[in-house]
C-alpha cells in the first residue's frame, strides 16, 4: 500500500531474445500487460514511458521477477516450436471497449496454425461490417504474439498490415506453418 492507503501498481519488465528480435515483456500483479516488438533501447525507452504514463507506476527492470517467469518460459517455448498456445494471466488494462472484445475473441477463438479474416472476426463479435475497426483493434494490441494479431489476414488472401512489420508477421505465420519459411 502507498501512503494514501491505495494498492500501489507494480510493473516489471525484461527483454527476451526471440526469432523475430528482442521482445519487451511487461507484467503487473494482474498478469502480462505488454509485449513490444523490436525492443532496442530507443523503442524500449518509449514503451516504458508509455507504460508509466498509462499505469501510473514506474516500470522496474526485473528479469527474475516471478511475475515474468512463466511469460518468459512460454514465449521461449513458443519460438522453440514447443508451445502452440499461451496460458498466462493477462492484464487487459491497456485496452477497453470494442478493441478489448475483439482481442479477447482473437485470443480464445483463433488457434495456432490458423488465420481469420478481419471481417470474419468482426462477425464473431457481433459487429458485421466492422472489418476496418477490427484492423484498428489489431493495431492497438498491447499483447502481440500472446494475443495473436498476426493470425488476422485480408479476406482476399493478402497478409494485411502488422504493427511489428510485415516481415515479422510472415515469420510468425511461417513458425505456425501457415506460410512457407522465408528463403532468406
- Percent of the chain whose predicted confidence (pLDDT) is above 90: 88
Active site residue 67: no
Provide the 8-state DSSP code for 176: T
In this prediction, residue 183 carries a pLDDT of 58
Rounded distance, CA 90 to CA 144, Å? 12
H/E segment holding residue 16? strand 12-16
Q: How many Cβ atoms are within 10 Å of 5's Cβ, its own excluded?
A: 6
Task: List, for residues 14-51, the tens digit of each pLDDT value.
Answer: 999 999 999 999 999 999 999 999 999 999 999 999 99
Q: What pLDDT sits at residue 5?
A: 41
Q: Within 10 A of 169 (CB to CB), how many other CB atoms are there?
A: 23
In tens, the pLDDT along 100-147 reads: 999 999 999 999 999 999 999 999 999 999 999 999 999 999 999 999
Give the model's pLDDT for residue 155: 85
Residue pair 23/76 in contact by the 8 Å Cβ criterion = no
Q: 82, 97, 182, 95: which is closest to 147 by C-alpha?
A: 95
Catalytic one of 23, 55, 149, 153: 149
Instruction: Quote the CA–CA distance of 72 and 21 in Å, as a whole number.
Output: 14
For 67-109, what is each residue's pLDDT tens digit? 999 999 999 999 999 999 999 999 999 999 999 999 999 999 9
Percent of the chain past pLDDT 70, that is, above it, reads 93
Amino acid at each position: 500500500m502507498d501512503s494514501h492507503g491505495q494498492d500501489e501498481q507494480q510493473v516489471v519488465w525484461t527483454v527476451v531474445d526471440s526469432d523475430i528480435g528482442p521482445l519487451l515483456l511487461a507484467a503487473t500483479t494482474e498478469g502480462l500487460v505488454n509485449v513490444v516488438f523490436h525492443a532496442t533501447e530507443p523503442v524500449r525507452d518509449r514503451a516504458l514511458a508509455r507504460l508509466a504514463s498509462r499505469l501510473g507506476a514506474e516500470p522496474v527492470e526485473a528479469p527474475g521477477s516471478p511475475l515474468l517467469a512463466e511469460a518468459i518460459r512460454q514465449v521461449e517455448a513458443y519460438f522453440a516450436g514447443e508451445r502452440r498456445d499461451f496460458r498466462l494471466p493477462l492484464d487487459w488494462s491497456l485496452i477497453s471497449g470494442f478493441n478489448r472484445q475483439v482481442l479477447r475473441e482473437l485470443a480464445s477463438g483463433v488457434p495456432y496454425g490458423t488465420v481469420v479474416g478481419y471481417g470474419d472476426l468482426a462477425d464473431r463479435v457481433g459487429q458485421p461490417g466492422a472489418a476496418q475497426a477490427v484492423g484498428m483493434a489489431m493495431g492497438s494490441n498491447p499483447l502481440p504474439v500472446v494475443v495473436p494479431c498476426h493470425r488476422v489476414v485480408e479476406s482476399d488472401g493478402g497478409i494485411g498490415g502488422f504493427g511489428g512489420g510485415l516481415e515479422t508477421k510472415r515469420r510468425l505465420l511461417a513458425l505456425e506453418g501457415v506460410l512457407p519459411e522465408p528463403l532468406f
